[in-house]
Amino acid sequence: MSQLDEGPAYLGAASESLAECTISEPERTPPRYQIVDADGSYDESQVPAIGDEELIDLYRWMVLQQVVDDRMVKLQRRGEMGTYASVRGQEASVVGCAFALEDDDWLFPYGREGAAELIQGMPLRDLLLYWRGVEDANKQAANNTFPPAIAIGTHIPVGVGFAWGMRLDDDDAIAALYHGDGHPSTGEYQAGVNFGSVVDAPALLFCPNNGYSISASFEQQTRAKSVAQKGIAWGIDGIRVDGNDVLAVYDAVKTAREHVADGNPTIVEAVTYRLDAHTTNDDPSRYRDQAEVDWWEDREPVGRFESFLQQRGVWDDIDPAAIREEANEQFDEAKAAADAFEKRDVSEMFEYLYDDLPPELERQLKDFESFLEARPDAYDYIEHRPKG
């Protein structure tokens, strides 16, 4: 029997029931996968196979992220850093996902995942340089990391295309595309994911859903109850996970990665909360209540993981003060190296993106150089870093 004897696949079966033929939005928000409760309690049978040293590493990375956020915001307030996007409250999402990736996997960041970039091998110095607007910090190809894409959704088609290329080359690695909960509402995201679904691109779409797209709440910018469910429209799977439970995120991404590596792009939505402002240029008190922040503060992920480690008996092998001191020393060294980084020329704007500069950019560079030669006083108005 040929396939056409039953009609084309997209036709589906006939039914006299209108209800049966109606695909409805779920009445309730789909559940999120969780291993460790907010008080640190857990079911031993659910804990993934992960050794004590790895558990301590997870904790160490989350503490480093906390220290980086605290120090970066202070630098920005002193005028030594550009605009910065804190990760505070989302440490488990950022670290749990990155920890589950393989060495050869590629990372496509969007700006709020510093620890993930560091786990990939990016020097902490370069993270500081990036937020100071130094182009050199974007050169992370040796660490399998693309430059962060601040413009919402624009890195999704690029990352999906890169993943497709890896598949055509029979590469076993995947591309992990970090993004916020507002990205799926953009045309770039929807076109990119649809294309990835059609070509079976090994792309993992990791969304730490912190409830806000800058100042717009999740309910204000989409009528969907979750990000994960949007995958149905593109013919791909979605997983919802507790984004403040680092073990659940790790386990969900580890499982999803195997599925992705087989050519099944997958969305992993880590439900979490941004405790700090969107960036250092934002005032969140204008669009959210303090009671809401306090609710999430009581459920922040690092304290939850500390409770888990205590209940599991691993905490006795940890010196939290020493770990935090070590993280601060790492930051001190990185800042000293960033401060010593040689000031770059304005021509840096035209470097790195292309092996061979396109004709139009060549023309713009020549025009710019001619302008600066004729008007050297213009240098007085060029701010190299920090930028705001």
Q: What angle do CA 94, 67, 149 make, to 5 degrees?
A: 45
Secondary structure class of 205 (helix, strand, coil): strand
Q: Is 278 a catalytic residue?
A: yes
DSSP 8-class letter at 30: P
Task: Indicate left, alpha or beta for 198 from its phi (over 0: left) and psi (-120 to 50: alpha).
Answer: alpha
In DSSP terms, 207 is beta-bridged to: 269
Active-site residue (options: 179, 278, 304, 385) = 278
Active-site residue (options: 287, 299, 312, 324) = 287
Please give the Cα distance from 4 to 76 (Å, whole number). Answer: 64
Q: Is 183 a catalytic residue?
A: no
Residue 63 contacts residue 88 (beta carbons within 8 Å): no
Buried b or exposed e, range 368-388, using 16+ CB within 10 angstroms: eeeebeeeeeeeeeeeebbee
Q: Is 110 a catalytic residue?
A: no
Buried b or exposed e, range 105-144, using 16+ CB within 10 angstroms: bbbbbbbbbbbbbbbbebbbbbbbbbbbbbbebbebeebb
Cα distances (Å, whole numbers) of residue 292 to 33, 90, 254, 269, 297: 22, 16, 31, 21, 9
Active-site residue (options: 88, 112, 240, 274) = 274
Residue 306 contacts residue 92 (beta carbons within 8 Å): no
Known catalytic residues?
A: 274, 278, 287
